[in-house]
Amino acid sequence: MTNATAANGKEAAYHGFPAEDDYGYAQAIKIGNTIHVSGQLSQDDKGNMIAPAALDESGKPADFSTMAEQMRVTYANAAKILARFGATLDHVVEETLYVLDVDTAFTVAGKVRKEAYATARPRCASNLIGVARLAFPEQLVEIVFKAVLPPA
């Protein structure tokens, strides 16, 4: 896990996953008081998927029963990357959840989000978007965040 600051003032944070170099991206970019967090997912510190969906014979998720656990880990990973900039989930002003199954997401997201934000009504704009595929076949959810720190 490293942070790097460019001449243009962008500060980047990385988890250290191989995909960061393979694809060429930062987990988060801070510029000024705003932190843009790339899509977070359910990975451990080595980049291995946690609570992967079982796949059917065609390589697509066979069920969505692990979505809640994937969401929990995803929020925890977002909290870790935000902490690199002295931020918490309380600083999040907007999130977008990309999910493979909207019905399952609606069933589990309310509880998981309230746990992650530690409040009955998280104070951030939230978007829930159903998609056909995510980066990894076993992945059911990916969440993008935008956080704003108070003025210094």
Separation between Cα atoms, residue 52 and residue 65, nearest integer Å: 10
pLDDT at 50: 97
Return the domain boundaries, the chain.
2-148
pLDDT at 20: 85
Burial environment of residue 53 by CB neighbours within 10 A (0 to 12, 13 to 18, 19 or more)? buried
- Which CATH number does 2-148 carry? 3.30.1330.40
Q: Going residue by residue through the chain (152 aa), what tens digit of pLDDT does each one get? A: 556 566 688 999 998 888 888 888 999 999 999 999 999 999 998 889 999 999 999 999 999 999 999 999 999 999 999 999 999 999 999 999 999 999 999 999 999 999 999 999 999 999 999 999 999 999 999 999 999 999 87
pTM: predicted TM-score of the whole model, two decimal places: 0.93
